[in-house]
Amino acid sequence: MVDRPKKPSALPTSAGSSMPPAPQVDISPSSDRVTATLPTGESCEVLLYGATLVSWKSEGGQRENLWMSDAAKVDGSKAVRGGIPLVFPVFGPPPSSSHLPQHGFARISRWEFLGKSTSESDSSVQLDFGLMSSNLSPEMRAAWPCEFGVIYSVTLGRRSLETRVVVRNEGAAAWEFMWLWHTYLRVEDIHQTHLTGLSSTPYHDRVASAHLTSEPSPTPLTITSETDRVYHPPDPQSTITVHTPAPRYEITRENLPDVVVWNPWEEKAKGMSDFEPKDGWENMLCVEEGSVREGVRLEGGEAWEGGVTVRLVEEG
């Protein structure tokens, strides 16, 4: 877990001159997480377990933008409840013939920290993480015997968080996969939150019926009960905006055709042992970007890339 090799040496400075402050990247003493902090105080924190983003702070480090359950397990005993877990290579329950866990193994595997890079032009820092088939446990290798490599990048900016992934087939045989960012956004009040950018989009309502295709709604989406919908925006470049009593979230996607909107609401939250506080559903909304309606097929040697950028924009 070191920086990239062949990193250029620091430039010498002359007397009376100084270099501008640079982003700081730290690895925890237990080597279980990586934290990046900008000179202005913004930060993000990534567990190596699952490469799960568990914190993204803006406004000089004063505002937390991700919701985390107080009962989330961050010791590797189960998937993290909150933050941004990674869903790969299946979404939801696996096929009956498979022994894969729900939502796959990416979120419950230990990733490798590959290094960092910084940009002086926009005061950003990028963290890179990797997962290969050789990193998997024998049980997961048996459940999904495909040769693969995944590079996951997290870029922290002053008022933005960009996440990108490259999935590569490292073998000769073709295989299919699904990918999803299971993003838990923190909102001030779910009752005063609505989404725009999905109003003309058909969706599958997984609460009413996993097979029901609903007609597009002409109004902004408000959350008034348990919600679990898979939207299929006709324009993959469209912006989805989460309006909440704070800076709004503007979400753009690249090569990701599907968007999941999820909130467990009161009754379901009560039945989830790792969901705390039980009224936490009032302060979170999952807006999840990925490719989950059908699998992405990769032939031997092929690669697939996707990305999400979340920007904070003042209302008004």
Q: Please check whether residue 162 is in contact with residue 139, taking contact to mean a CB–CB distance below 8 angstroms.
A: no
Q: What pLDDT shows up at residue 12?
A: 40
Which segments of 245-315 does DSSP mark as H helices, in order?
A: 265-270
Q: Are strands 52-58 and 33-37 parallel, antiparallel or unpaired?
A: unpaired
CATH numbers and ranges of domains, the chain: 24-189+227-239+252-311 (2.70.98.10)
33: annotated binding-site residue?
no
C-alpha closest to that of 70 among 184, 149, 152, 153? 184
Separation CA 257–CA 109 (nearest Å): 26
107 belongs to an annotated ligand binding site:
yes
User: Is the distance from CB of 165 to CB of 150 less than 8 angstroms?
Assistant: yes
Residue 284 corresponds to which tokens in the numbers above? 């979170």
Q: Using CA atoms, how far apart are residues 243 and 57, in angstroms rounded to an integer?
A: 18
The DSSP 8-state label assigned to residue 2 in this structure reads -
Neighbours of 225 (CB within 10 A): 9
At 15 the three-state DSSP class reads coil
Q: Find the catalytic residue in 45, 182, 204, 289.
A: 182
Instruction: Give pTM, 2 decimals.
Output: 0.91
288 in catalytic set: yes
Contacts of 210 (CB under 8 A, 6+ apart): 204
Which residue in the list 42, 162, 282, 288 is annotated as catalytic?
288
- Does the active-site annotation cover 250? no
Q: What is the DSSP letter of 88?
A: B
Contacting residues for 229 by C-beta, under 8 A, at least 6 apart: 203, 204, 205, 206, 207, 214, 260, 261, 262
User: What pLDDT shows up at residue 18?
Assistant: 61
- Answer for the pair 73, 81: CB distance below 8 angstroms, yes or no: yes
CA distance 241 to 251: 6
Amino acid identity, position 4: R
pLDDT in tens, the chain (316 residues): 444 444 433 334 344 446 678 899 999 999 999 999 999 999 999 999 999 999 999 999 999 999 999 999 998 889 999 999 999 999 998 887 788 999 999 999 999 999 999 987 778 999 999 999 999 999 999 999 999 999 999 999 999 999 999 999 999 999 999 999 999 999 999 999 999 999 888 888 889 876 667 777 778 999 999 999 999 988 878 899 999 988 899 999 999 999 999 999 999 999 999 999 999 999 999 999 999 999 999 999 999 999 999 999 986 5
How far apart CA 36 and CA 228 sit, in angstroms, is 32
126 is in an annotated binding site: no
